[in-house]
Structure 1
Amino acid sequence: MYNKAETSRIRSEFWIAFGQYMKPIPNSEGRRINWPNYKTGVRHIYFRMKAENDFASIGIELGHADEELQELYFDQFAQFRGMLESIVGEKWDWNLLVQNEFGQPVSRIEKILPNVNVMNTDDWPAIISFLKPRIIALDEFWENVKPGFES
């Protein structure tokens, strides 16, 4: 087992490695972007990438404190479900109003890669290979639908 400091260091090293790997890749508009800390530019809509001890995941998280508005955002995304699945090339899990790790209600549209461990550097290539095409596809998707969420 790792102590808290070692765990933090290894996770940090993973995200630094991922960021360096992704750095030369421009976003859908051809601009440089900080892929590990992707900013959607719309409050309460986040692209989340996780690398944990037993899985990796990527997804869209809706975190509006008003559950009705969160559901409205979720319904808006559902209207674009076909486009999202076409761009990412697979079906994702859609979860309305679940609790995040802090006990707050969020909604998630996500894909999970089970049985990988960020603490095992041998798993890093699989995690990066999982995250890379999906964050690029999410960026392309977001470029198409973002105007509908900005107002």
Structure 2
Amino acid sequence: MYSKDQASQLKQAFWTAFGQYMGPVLSAEGLRTNWINYKTGVKHIFFRMQADNKKAGIAIEIAHPDPELQQLFFEQFETYKTMLHSTLGEEWKWQLHATDDFSKTISRIYTDLTPVSIFQKEDWPKLISFFKPRIIALDEFWSDVKVAFEA
């Protein structure tokens, strides 16, 4: 078991390593990108990567405070479901109106990897191999559909 401080340091070390690994990778539009804190440019829509001692996950998260508008965003994503899955090369789970770790209502399109632990350095290559192609594919997908969500 790790102290809170040790756990925080290990997480920070992983995300720093991942950021350095992804540094040379340009976005679909040929721009330098902060892959860890990916900016979608659309309020309330986020691309999230997370990892803990049991699993890792990557998601499109819709966090609009109005549940009806959140559902409209979700339904808009559903119209692009085939395109998203084709770009990702796999099918993801779709969850309308779930509750996040802070008890906020969100909607998610996501996939997980288990069992892995961000606290085990020997799992880091698996984590990087999980996150890298998926965040790049999300970026490619987003460069094609973002304009539809900006309106």
Whether TM exceeds 0.5 here: the answer is yes
Partner of 1:32, secondary structure, is coil
* Cα shift readout 1:20-49 (whole Å, capped 9, x = no counterpart): 000000000111011011000000000000
Q: Secondary structure at the match of 1:111?
A: strand
- Aligned alpha-carbon RMSD (Å): 0.4
**In the alignment, which residue of structure 1 is the partner of 2:139?**
139
**Residue 17 of structure 2 is aligned to residue 30 of structure 1:** no
Separation of aligned partners in 1, 2:32 and 2:119: 29
SS at structure 2 position matched to 1:12: helix
State the Cα deviation string for residues 50-74 of structure 1 (Å, max 9, x = none). 0111001111000000000000000
Kindly provide the CA deviation profile for residues 100-145 of structure 1, in whole angstroms up to 9, marking residues without a partner as x. Answer: 0000000000010010000000000000000000000000000011
Query: Partner residue of 1:117?
Result: 117
How many residue pairs get aligned? The number is: 151
2:64 maps to a residue whose letter is H
| Percent sequence identity over aligned pairs | 52
Provide TM-score, normalisation by structure 1. Answer: 0.99
Report deviation, 1:77.
0.1
Q: Tell me which residue corresponds to 1:90.
A: 90
Query: Secondary structure in 1 aligned to 2:96?
Result: strand
Q: Which amino acid aligns with 2:46?
A: Y
Alignment partners' CA distance in 2, 1:13 and 1:88? 27
- Structure 1 unaligned residues grouped into runs of 5+: none
- Who is 2:73 aligned against? 73
Runs of 4+ in 1 over 6 A off after TM superposition: none
